[in-house]
Structure 1
Amino acid sequence: MILVTGGAGYIGTHAVLALMQSGHDVLVLDNLCNSTRSALDRVASLAGRRPRFVLGDIRNRALLDSVFAQFPIEAVMHFAGLKAVGESVREPLRYYDTNVGGSVNLCQAMAQAGVFRLVFSSSATVYGQSKKMPINEHCALGQPTNPYGQSKLMAEHVMHSVAESDPRWAIGLLRYFNPIGAHASGLLGEAPKSVPNNLLPYLLQVATGQRPSLPVYGTDYPTPDGTAVRDYIHVVDLAGAHLKALDYLMNHTGISVWNVGTGLGYSVLELVHAFEHVSKVKISLSFEPRRPGDIAQCWSDPTRARQQLDWVATRDLNCMLEDAWRWQCRNPEGYVLDTLELKIKLADKGHFYKSSAFKRAVGSALFR
């Protein structure tokens, strides 16, 4: 059995589905602070069986000890954590407590239970303001520009230390670039519970008329169009990388590190224009000053993942945006409504969303 912390969240649900479809038994541990258990109902409908679920927090050591004592856990995929750059600047202690303290607690509980295989959800932010592009795993770890990145780097240091202290540990650090997209079924996707902190979820809410315009933070970066450049990766490709990493750790001990990205960088404006092409919806923009903690550009060299894991991202930017738009059209309120309820609500209330573009998109996505 694989324990997936944060398994009801955006990336976690896609990883849980991939694990189950590959034959694994899965136990999800999630405190639901930024997720919902109904997402796991969607996973069950796609997988044909239901993952086990425990409501709880990785900072609760007694709960972790109970979980490891009760279930035959072989390995852990650790997604539980906070992940918004801007929020981390405003609430740094919350990020260190959850992302660092929670990871320490989890490693202690694992060692106590004799479970030593761990796939960790890390981030490309650990490279800080890297001068080299694309970024490979040999690049120096920098000084991350925000508490979120610092918390991920600190958690990595913890895991390096425990692996060096005991040769039984097999730890894979997956440094994500920018996960976007959704499951092709339209049943799983990113569903922020409050104002979205990331670019694409915010853009999608603008496209459906829920927000008036998309703020573009910074137009004076040293990039071709002045807006920040990022490496976007489809969340389903990302989930596949976790399965490959888990397989690798079955035969390798110590610490292994992999960048998980496409190796391509797109600016904010390039992503917006690509979305407009896919959706046929014009996005209203508002140009704002740079945000604290943001960097100009960041994209990956994923060569090591290809060589060691036999993994490569297969979905391009258009696919990412098409899948994300399908998810948004079918689930404008996230997991609040199922598809049938949404059809009824839209049929009964034509003014449910004010955007005529949204109504046209939903019409094509749902009523067919």
Structure 2
Amino acid sequence: MAVLVTGGAGYIGTHTVVQLIEQGEKVIVLDNLCNSSRDVFSRIEKICGVLPTFIEGDIRNRECLDKIFSASSIDSVIHFAGLKAVGESSQIPLDYYQNNVCGTLILCEAMAAAGVKKLIFSSSATVYGEDAPVPYEENMPRGKTSNPYGASKAMVEQVLTDLCASDPEWSVALLRYFNPIGAHPTGLIGEDPKGIPNNLMPFISQVAVGKRKELSIFGDDYPTEDGTCERDYLHVMDLADGHVSALSSLDENGVHIYNLGTGNGLSVLEMVKTFMRITGVDVPYTFADRREGDLPAFWADASKAEKELGWRATRTLDDMMEDTWRWQSNNPNGYEG
């Protein structure tokens, strides 16, 4: 039996594919390569000694999905495929709803037709909404999201919850991520955003490697200790391990919700200063106006995942910085060289 990983050529997907293979799982990757590179697969093979099956295709293509399920013995699906840039989602909301929501509907229809009813969904802490108190706990209701990206994740969560209520044979894990950073310790795979990075760490590392002039920190007047936003940053390898651990939750039917984070909030300035301390590389920065939709501070209560899955984030902030820099310095232009 195999695990189908949609969006498995992306940042989180590639690291999860590596961990799945290391655990002895047979992996099939489906990705349309709209925000990823085919080069990741040769690098995965270097790390694991195994080349995962790759199918270039889109989750919105039902014919493609039906062929995959009919040709392979698939036991479960880990679903990463979707658009993920918060700012961009406000500019092209229909694309986000089409890819993230409609794509998931078509995937679930194909899964149901094939009798595959185990799914891990790549969700987000954004579903807690603008007004949720910190730390975020899984028993909190979904709140008012601040952008179409977050709204699309909340919509999919509701779809999957309703699906499980309608058909008790389904088992779904909703994994609510916080802020993954870092890279595989080999430096062979890492975060390679197209164009200007939307996330903090690839922007920091691209400035450090000379690809960008300086870092813009959006807002220095938030009600936090140093005035910059605070987030819960976790190593992408810990996040990948969380998906492997969550496969065990699919043995029990119904909806299972888990936060994947460290439980600690760190400010943007702390991240910049830690990166410079660990790498010895200067990162010039300036302060800019607040970015619309950014919340002052949030972090996870991740105790449920530890209690039920035996998972917790174990890699340190220093590890995150070292691995980020190893990846970026070895691959100044990402997978292009």
The TM-score range, normalised by the shorter chain, is: over 0.9
Aligned residues of 1:205 and 1:211 also touching (Cα < 8 A): yes
2: CA distance, partners of 1:233 / 1:130: 23
User: Counterparts in 2 of 1:182-261, with a 5 A limit?
Assistant: 182-249=183-250, 251-261=251-261
1: CA distance, partners of 2:89 / 2:222: 22
Report deviation, 1:209.
1.1
Aligned residues of 1:65 and 1:109 also touching (Cα < 8 A): yes
1: CA distance, partners of 2:96 / 2:17: 24
CA offsets, 1:98-118, max 9 Å, x none? 111111111111001100000
Which amino acid in the other structure matches residue 28 of structure 1?
A: V
Please say if 1:70 is aligned against 2:58.
no
1:126 corresponds to:
127
User: Counterparts in 2 of 1:1-368, with a 5 A limit?
Assistant: 1-249=2-250, 251-337=251-337
1: CA distance, partners of 2:135 / 2:115: 38
Which amino acid in the other structure matches residue 285 of structure 2?
A: L
Aligned residues of 1:89 and 1:292 also touching (Cα < 8 A): no
Which amino acid in the other structure matches residue 171 of structure 1?
A: V
Which amino acid in the other structure matches residue 311 of structure 1?
A: W
Which amino acid in the other structure matches residue 81 of structure 1?
A: G
- Matched position secondary structure for 2:5: strand
2: CA distance, partners of 1:39 / 1:191: 11
1: CA distance, partners of 2:220 / 2:150: 23
Normalising by structure 1, we get a TM-score of 0.90
- Matched position secondary structure for 2:256: strand
Overall identity of the aligned pairs, in %: 53
1: CA distance, partners of 2:241 / 2:260: 10
1: CA distance, partners of 2:34 / 2:158: 26
Aligned residues of 1:20 and 1:26 also touching (Cα < 8 A): yes
1: CA distance, partners of 2:146 / 2:315: 29
2: CA distance, partners of 1:248 / 1:158: 19
Q: Give the ranges of 4+ consecutive aligned residues of structure 1 lying more than 2 Å apart after TM superposition.
A: none
- Matched position secondary structure for 1:335: helix
Instruction: For structure 2, list consecutive stretches of 5 or more residues without a partner in the other structure.
Output: none
Report deviation, 1:129.
1.8
Aligned residues of 2:131 and 2:144 also touching (Cα < 8 A): no
CA offsets, 1:120-165, max 9 Å, x none? 0000000112442111112221111111101100010110011111
1: CA distance, partners of 2:163 / 2:249: 19
2: CA distance, partners of 1:144 / 1:199: 21
Instruction: For structure 1, list consecutive stretches of 5 or more residues without a partner in the other structure.
Output: 338-368
Q: How many residues align?
A: 336
CA RMSD of aligned residues (A): 0.8
- Matched position secondary structure for 2:319: helix
Structure number with greater Rg is 1
Report deviation, 1:296.
1.0
2: CA distance, partners of 1:213 / 1:13: 28
CA offsets, 1:57-107, max 9 Å, x none? 101111111111111111000000111111111111111111111111111
1: CA distance, partners of 2:45 / 2:160: 32
2: CA distance, partners of 1:178 / 1:216: 16
Which amino acid in the other structure matches residue 66 of structure 1?
A: K
Aligned residues of 1:89 and 1:293 also touching (Cα < 8 A): no
2: CA distance, partners of 1:167 / 1:96: 27
- Matched position secondary structure for 2:149: helix
1: CA distance, partners of 2:256 / 2:197: 32
Report deviation, 1:336.
1.4
Aligned residues of 1:181 and 1:234 also touching (Cα < 8 A): yes
Normalising by structure 2, we get a TM-score of 0.98
1: CA distance, partners of 2:141 / 2:173: 18
